[in-house]
């Protein structure tokens, strides 16, 4: 594989690399790690890469790699740049015949996302989106439980993603992560809603297997001077008749990365917290609460195949990330040109999730500025 | 004191009586426990009351008690009937010269609540409303912390009250509690929103010391056949510029009585859960989370004066209830006819909280049926 | 009832009075609250007692009360004095024909305890010992679960009681509670082991229904200058072949009152924490952990009959205390002179538990000073 | 690096490999993965290794590798075989000039461990022992806190390691892990005490920086037919005057891998649980409990340098494992023949920890069969 972005100051680039390292199925062999050629080179060196395959730009990378012998050239690229540099390299990768792993949100705008969808459909290549949190085994167990029907029909979804790191104006203190995320030119229409709200929406839709149909939104820029939203809350209506609430805020001072979801059904409820990812709580109308834990034999195969350690040996964020790569690698192993790819079979987020995410962001922003209560999500 | 309602099948009547028993300051000496005279008598007997002071109706009770010698007659009545039987007895009590403790919501309608307010203002008598949850010491600590300014200005309030007991149509199975609560003739305009939403709103306003100004509401009757809402969620705007979300649902299958609140400020956040009431979590932007616990010397006097046991000896719901009676009794001890009563000094919910609660219910119901996003709360 | 001890500076006296108040079955009508007659009088006054029944000594109390008319005189006394003043008033109460509630440990020494046992057997009167923690409903549920056999045979017991309040030499700072508990003349042979170790041992034996047979003990006086143990740990062998560990320390700085127990069986385990008393955790070899909670319908009748509030409305320490009085009151209601009393039927700790507790203390102290590994508990 | 053991059915081999993959500093290039040459080959193939460097035995591996060019041959080997096959390959590795990473316990017996110590001292090569749990950042934070003196002197240590997986006789059901661990010929003198008791002891000594001096032990073989202990508990005396309790059991039905430690000091206490490894609880005599969490800026550098993700992005067991390799790799990077290696500087467990572990096991076993209360730990 090759990597685009992920230079020395990147947060998410090293996360991808560490995640990839866990299972030993995928090897990073080349990259264009920065738009600064010097930083790209230094990054490549620190990763013990062959200096010939550390490129000055992704254009150069595709140019050269696509001409290499099949057994030598990369199979895919991981794109880990800020949002405004997702579309172009992804497009070029697909056009050059490479599969793609993309950081979320898939693109800067819904329009770009749709173009990528078309390109994926045209080329038949595989595109995975790193909605990390659905990579957790107990999230997969939750989805399987809903599917099984044991809990009855879904009625109510509460999904939250409170973070505290943007509680002050850190984008003015040299914090690179904060800087591009709060900049509409690099981030897109959404601030918190794009950065983490999409994760929350994706998690809710993944577990319930039902799309959010309408939203009624309040977006705030709580920290003075900030241009994009740093705080969002909304009421939800799902396609299947369930309703819900979604919160995604980056000014919840003191919170870390507290993505969590509670869903209520006819016969019980389930609850999952990203900060304690190996635990899934099941509640029942008439019997004791159950605590399901990663690593036990009673779990479904859907969850078990993404677990590496015995019960009580905690897995975390990197392992969830690795699970997306594992599913993506499984899909690549069975890839045949011309054959239609079904991402659900391998269980990784794909281009359609990416398009939904962008439609969500744009609808939420539209809802926030409307006096009308409900706004439909349109792709 | 005397009691109106609270017969043998009542849930909340015995709660009042047990709460009163804890501190030994107040003695139940008479009552009209049911509109069925036989049930009233049996209740009185089971409570070892003098049978002469077990009345057939509250009219009879007031008639006789007000003619008794001052040192013999009751000081106040507790009214623990369903919502539609709050106003009449409360009115009669005040007109007969007795202080009043009322179950929440204060009345069947906002109009009734306002009449009670006028009557309280006219008579100068004391009316306490049993918003139990603000009786918990750690809730008082939270309020004091907000006041102290240590956390900075409030930004975001998430308050939730999920219960599961109405997940099926229990009102059709002889459940007396469910029966009147889901009946608009006895409960009023609000179902879940009146029964528990008012608690959530009261808790948020009490801790932040700021009224909710506007709501954007979704109300649902999730269980087929139910007339009133059993599920509510809403976006909030507070007077002081903060925003928030309030959830109150009785179809959260598997939940018990999970009232909880998280508030975020400029410098940190706080979190309290009714099911673990002796714990208050403080979060900070730049230092470790702190766990404040009932019974420690570091707490404020506002909290300490409502704690009975050393740290680690849990107090619960009955003790929170007893705290409202304790504060009310303190107020009565200093009561002088003609002197204006300041409930805040003694720290118990009063008639103004009651009027706010009814205004909240009516505004929420109005908001729920409106296509406009925001509705102002008007009293 | 009457009370001996429990004056204005007492900790446990008010706890008894509040606990009694909850259920309204028992009325405090007289007392000898202090060996200082002035304090006794003031205490009686603060409790609104008839001044004629506030006595200068317990001798006077028994003298006068036993001559009163049956419907007027007390049924029983609660003795809430320090350990060295348990035996004499209990003896006098029984000899005067009154039932007795005694704070634990039952007496200053095993010899005294055995004399009380003989007196109870001779008079046929009821003696209850306030081992509060077995009053919690979820402890009763645990005992019932063990009895049911669902978990298989017991294998391992870990019971702990860490407190932190004696981490410094508070007995030298005017702390009355610390002062007598660290004084061998008033406390007896045991410090922490008598004060809280007996609770831990009683809890383990109550739930498993099996006596501790042998101990191997380390006792420490951690805080310099202290005469009695403030820290203890020991290995346990039970009669039924199970083994275990017991810790009871009062120098666990930062701990509140963290009594907790974990028991492992052939097929699973159970866990209970006094600071979260409404929760009982069940673990299984091959299925998800279950969280049993007070107030649910799935509990056994043994637990349900000691629960006052619906699920999610926490009960605590005072309610656990009240449960002992409730069971004792039930026993008194069915008391007939000459009929043998079976405390187990009503489910309260009795004189035999008291004797076992003193035997435990004396054996533990003997073990601590022995070089031999194991010491048998002998009554 | 090369690996000895860790074939297709191994539990710990893949753990080592995944851990190594995370940081990308170390590359597995050869191995003798099994004493069955076919399994060794298949393992190598599944790992994409050059088939020429997949050896039939470790003897062959050392023979060939030591003759390779310095820039080609391995720097070190990881030995992940059962206990009885630790000493021989480690000895051969050191004698062949390779550094060594060894699974714990370091050897089959104390005698073997001492021989390895001599060899390390003689060759000057680096030997790291994978006591995984001290690789967790919050354990390092705990150690640093103790060193800082903020908590005062240590008084009491409670360390526990309950597991449930040996609650039935799984060694008779084809479970390879259980089979050798319960077999004295392959495991050594200790069952649970060697497998997990050594982890608990190591954790306690690491955090407190004080060796355990004496033990008073009870060892049990709870499951009928088992030869080695599956359950242990003991009282502890530390060199520095503190005392404690250690439990390590594999028949705690329903437990996963619940290693945890609580330590009490003059001014407070600390608490850490392996199953929630990113959290460290600090308790204080007179102020609120603090919850320290991985990823925050307030942590010490000792902890921070072993953290890979921002707060709220959980790291787990594999990352703790990777931390030992990271520290070991740091040491190797600065290795100079003839220069004395100080493992403490790099913060990884070394041969001296290994010798202590074996001394612990042998002393514990001696104590268990003695009637004398206390037995000194002798190396």
List, for residues A26-78, the tens digit of each pLDDT value: 999 999 999 999 999 999 999 999 999 999 999 999 999 999 999 899 999 99
- What pLDDT, on a 0 to 100 scale, did the predictor assign at position C174? 87
Residue B158, token pair as written in the block: 């998430």
Give a yes or no: residue B356 inside a domain.
no
pLDDT class of D358 with cuts at 50, 70, 90: very high
D339, pLDDT greater than 90: no
Q: Which residues pair with A249 in a beta bridge?
A: A162, A231
Find the mean pLDDT for residues B317-343. 93
Write out pLDDT tens, residues C251-269: 999 999 999 999 999 999 9
pLDDT at D114: 98
Q: Do D290 and B286 touch (CB under 8 A)?
A: no
Give the three-class secondary structure for A136: coil
Of the pLDDT bands very low, low, confident and very high (cuts 50, 70, 90), residue A342 is: confident
How far separated are the first and last CA of chain D, in Å rounded?
31
Residues in chain D with CB shorter than 8 Å from the CB of A256 are 293, 295, 310-312
Residues sharing a CB contact under 8 Å with residue C196, sequence separation 6 or more, in sequence order: C161, C163, C248, C250, C259
Are both B98 and B160 inside the same structural domain? no
**Cα A202 from chain centre:** 8
The whole-number average pLDDT for the span A103-111 is 95
**Residue C176 confidence (pLDDT) above 90:** no
Q: Is residue D221 one of the residues assigned to a domain?
A: yes
CB contact C209 to A (< 8 Å): no
For residue C322, being part of any structural domain is answered with no
Report the first-to-last Cα separation within chain A, whole angstroms: 31
Banded pLDDT at B209 (limits 50, 70, 90): very high
Quick count: other Cβ atoms within 10 Å of Cβ B184?
13
CB B323, CB B338: distance < 8 Å: no
In a shared domain, residues C107 and C144: no
Residue B174 confidence (pLDDT): 86
Chains sharing 3 or more CB pairs under 8 A with chain B: A, C, D
Cβ of A291 and C292 within 8 Å? Answer: no
Average pLDDT over every residue of D69-75: 93
C253 in the same domain as C267: yes
Q: Are C351 and C129 in contact (CB under 8 A)?
A: yes
Place of tokens 């038949």: A124
Q: Is residue C378 part of a domain?
A: no
Q: Is residue C217 part of a domain?
A: yes
Cα of D180 to nearest chain A Cα, Å: 18
Shared domain for C165 and C94, answered yes or no, is no
The pLDDT value given to residue A357: 97
Work out how many domains chain D is built from and give that number: 2
Q: How far apart are CA A224 and CA C369, in angstroms?
A: 69
Q: Is the pLDDT of residue C344 over 90?
A: no
Is C292 in contact with A293 (Cβ distance < 8 A)? Answer: no
Same structural domain, D227 and D211: yes
CATH of the domain at C199: 3.30.360.10
Residue A299 C-alpha, separation from nearest chain C C-alpha, in angstroms? 9
pLDDT for C36 equals 92
In whole angstroms, give the CA distance from residue A133 to residue A200. Answer: 9
Q: Does one domain contain both C192 and C94?
A: no
Instruction: Give the number of other CB atoms < 10 A from CB of residue D5.
Output: 25
Q: Do D252 and C156 touch (CB under 8 A)?
A: yes
Give chain B's end-to-end CA distance (angstroms, integer): 31
- CB-nearest partner of B254 from A160, A268, A374: A268
For the cut 90, the answer to whether the pLDDT of residue C154 exceeds it is yes
Q: For B201-269, give the DSSP string.
A: HHHHHHHHT--EEEEEEEEE--STT--S-SEEEEEEEETTS-EEEEEEES--TT--S--EEEEEESSEE
Label residue A176 by pLDDT band (50, 70, 90).
Answer: confident
Give domain status of residue A269, yes or no: yes
Judge whether D370 is closer than 8 Å to chain C, CB to CB: yes
For residue B193, the 8-state DSSP code is I
Give SS3 for A95. Answer: helix
pLDDT at D256 (0 to 100): 98
How many pairs of residues across C and D have Cβ atoms under 8 Å apart? 133
CATH value at residue A113: 3.40.50.720
Q: Is the pLDDT of residue C379 over 90?
A: no
- C chain contacts of residue B163, beta-carbon cutoff 8 Å: 312
Model confidence band, residue B344 (pLDDT cutoffs 50, 70, 90): confident
Return the minimum-mean-pLDDT range out of B87-91, B98-102, B171-175, C223-227: B171-175
Q: pLDDT at residue D342 above 90?
A: no
Whose CA is closest to D347, among D74, D143, D165? D143
Q: Mean per-residue pLDDT for B176-194?
A: 92
| pLDDT, tens digit (0-9, with 9 covering 90-100), for B259-296 | 999 999 999 999 999 999 999 999 999 999 999 999 99
Residue B118 vs residues A286, B59, B332, B342: alpha-carbon distances, Å: 46, 21, 20, 16
Partner residue facing B284 (CB), from A247, A254, A283: A254
**C289 touching A, CB under 8 A?**
yes
Q: Are residues A69 and A165 in the same domain?
A: no
- The number of CA neighbours under 13 Å toward the Cβ of B310 is 13
CA A194, CA A213: separation in Å to the nearest integer?
18
Q: How far lies A100's CA from each of A96, A286, A335, in Å?
A: 11, 47, 13
In a shared domain, residues D159 and D305: yes
The pLDDT assigned to A310 comes to 96
Predicted pLDDT at B342: 84
pLDDT at A361 over 90: yes
**Which domain does B87 fall in, by range?**
2-132+327-349
DSSP-derived secondary structure letter, B136: S
Strand partners, D3: D31, D78
Contacts of C379 (CB under 8 A, 6+ apart): C110, C114, C355, C356, C359
- Per-residue pLDDT at A250 exceeds 90: yes
Q: Is residue A161, in this structure, part of any structural domain at all? A: yes
Residues A163 and A268 reside in one and the same domain:
yes
- By C-alpha distance, the chain C residue nearest D217 is C235
Name residues whose C-beta falls within 8 Å of residue C197's C-beta, 6 or more positions apart in sequence: C161, C190, C232, C246, C248, C360, C361, C364
Using CA atoms, how far apart are residues D218 and C236, in angstroms rounded to an integer? 9
Which of B244, B278, B309 delimits the end of a domain?
A: B309
The first and second tokens of residue C223, run together, are 């805080």
pLDDT of residue B343: 83
* Chain C from 255 to 284: CB within 8 A of any A CB: 282
Query: In the structure, what pLDDT confidence band is assigned to residue A343 with cuts at 50, 70 and 90?
Result: confident
Which of A266, A277, A10 lies closest to A150 in space, CA to CA? A266
Residues in chain B: 379
**% residues pLDDT > 70 (chain A):** 100
Task: Using the predicted structure, report yes or no on whether residue D64 has a pLDDT greater than 90.
Answer: yes
Give the pLDDT of residue C323.
Answer: 98
Q: What is the 3-state secondary structure (H, E, C) of chain C?
A: CEEECCCCCCCHHHHHHHHHHHHCCCCCCEEECCCCHHHHHHHHHHCCCCHHHECCCHHHHHHHHCCCCCCCCCCEEEECCCHHHCHHHHHHHHHCCCEEEECCCCCCCHHHHHHHHHHHHHHCCCEEECCHHHHCHHHHHHHHHHHHCCCCCEEEEEEEEECCCCCCCHHHCCCHHHHHHCCHHHHCCCCHHHHHHHHHHHHHHHHHCCCEEEEEEEEECCCCCCCCCCEEEEEEEECCCCEEEEEEECCCCCCCCCCEEEEEECCEEEEEECCCCCEEEEEECCCCEEEEECCCCCCCHHHHCCCCCCCCCCCCHHHHHHHHHHHHHHHHHCCCCCCCCCHHHHCCCCHHHHHHHHHHHHHHHHHHCCCECCEECCC
Q: Which residues contact B47 (CB under 8 A, 6 or more apart)?
A: B17, B28, B31, C24
D11-51 pLDDT tens trace: 899 999 999 999 999 999 999 999 999 999 999 999 999 99
Of C24, C275, C308, the CB nearest to B47: C24
Decide if C258 is inside a domain. Answer: yes
Query: For B246-271, what is the mean pLDDT?
Result: 98
Question: A255 and A342 share a domain?
Answer: no
In this structure, are D146 and D294 located in the same domain? yes
CA distance B218 to B248: 11
Give dist(CA C89, CA C114) in Å, integer: 15
Choose among B244, B253, B262: nearest Cβ to A264.
B253
- Could you report the per-residue pLDDT of B21-37, keeping only the tens digit for each? 999 999 999 999 999 99
CB C45 within 8 Å of CB C54: yes
A288:C288 CB<8 A: no
Domain limit, last residue, from C259, C279, C309: C309
Average pLDDT score over residue span C236-249: 98
**Could you write out the three-class secondary structure of chain D?**
CEEECCCCCCCHHHHHHHHHHHHCCCCCCEEECCCCHHHHHHHHHHCCCCHHHECCCHHHHHHHHCCCCCCCCCCEEEECCCHHHCHHHHHHHHHCCCEEEECCCCCCCHHHHHHHHHHHHHHCCCEEECCHHHHCHHHHHHHHHHHHCCCCCEEEEEEEEECCCCCCCHHHCCCHHHHHHCCHHHHCCCCHHHHHHHHHHHHHHHHHCCCEEEEEEEEECCCCCCCCCCEEEEEEEECCCCEEEEEEECCCCCCCCCCEEEEEECCEEEEEECCCCCEEEEEECCCCEEEEECCCCCCCHHHHCCCCCCCCCCCCHHHHHHHHHHHHHHHHHCCCCCCCCCHHHHCCCEHHHHHHHHHHHHHHHHHHCCCECCEECCC
Question: Do residues D331 and D175 make contact, with C-beta atoms less than 8 angstroms apart?
Answer: no
| Same domain for B20 and B120 | yes
State the pLDDT confidence band at A379, using cuts at 50, 70 and 90: confident
The SS3 call for residue A372 is: strand
Chain B residue with Cα closest to C49: B24
């Amino acid at each position: 594989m090759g990597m685009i972005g992920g230079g020395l100051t990147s947060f998410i680039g090293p996360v991808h690399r560490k995640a990839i390292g866990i299972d030993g199925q995928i090897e990073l062999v080349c990259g264009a790690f920065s738009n600064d050629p010097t930083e790209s080179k230094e990054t490549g060196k620190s990763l013990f890469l062959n200096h010939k395959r550390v490129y000055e730009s992704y254009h150069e990378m595709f140019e050269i790699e696509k001409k290499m012998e099949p057994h030598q050239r990369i199979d895919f690229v991981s794109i880990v740049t800020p949002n405004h540099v997702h579309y172009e390299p992804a497009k070029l990768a697909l056009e050059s015949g490479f599969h793609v792993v993309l950081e979320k949100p898939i693109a800067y705008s819904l329009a770009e996302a749709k173009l990528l969808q078309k390109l994926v459909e045209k080329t038949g290549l595989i595109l995975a989106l790193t909605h990390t949190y659905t990579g957790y085994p107990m999230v997969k167990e939750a989805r399987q439980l809903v599917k099984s029907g044991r809990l009855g029909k879904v009625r109510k979804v509460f999904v939250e993603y409170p973070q505290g790191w943007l509680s002050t104006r850190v984008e003015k203190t040299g914090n690179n992560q904060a800087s591009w995320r709060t900049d509409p030119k690099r981030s897109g229409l959404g601030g918190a809603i794009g950065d983490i709200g999409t994760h929350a929406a994706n998690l809710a839709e993944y577990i319930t297997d039902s799309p959010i149909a309408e939203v009624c939104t309040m977006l705030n820029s709580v920290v003075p001077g900030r241009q994009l939203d740093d705080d969002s809350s909304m009421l939800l209506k799902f396609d299947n008749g369930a309703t819900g609430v979604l919160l995604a805020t980056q000014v919840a001072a003191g919170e870390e990365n507290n993505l969590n979801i509670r869903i209520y059904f006819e016969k019980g409820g389930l609850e999952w917290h990203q900060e304690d990812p190996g635990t899934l709580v099941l509640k029942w109308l008439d019997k004791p609460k159950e605590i399901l834990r990663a690593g036990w034999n009673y779990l479904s195969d859907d969850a078990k195949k993404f677990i590496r350690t015995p019960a009580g040996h905690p897995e975390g964020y990197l392992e969830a990330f690795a699970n997306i790569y594992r599913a993506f690698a499984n899909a690549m192993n069975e890839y045949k040109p011309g054959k239609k790819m079904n991402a659900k079979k391998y269980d990784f987020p794909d281009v359609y999730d990416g398009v939904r995410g962008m439609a969500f962001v744009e609808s939420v922003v539209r809802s926030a500025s409307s006096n009308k209560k409900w706004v439909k999500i349109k792709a």
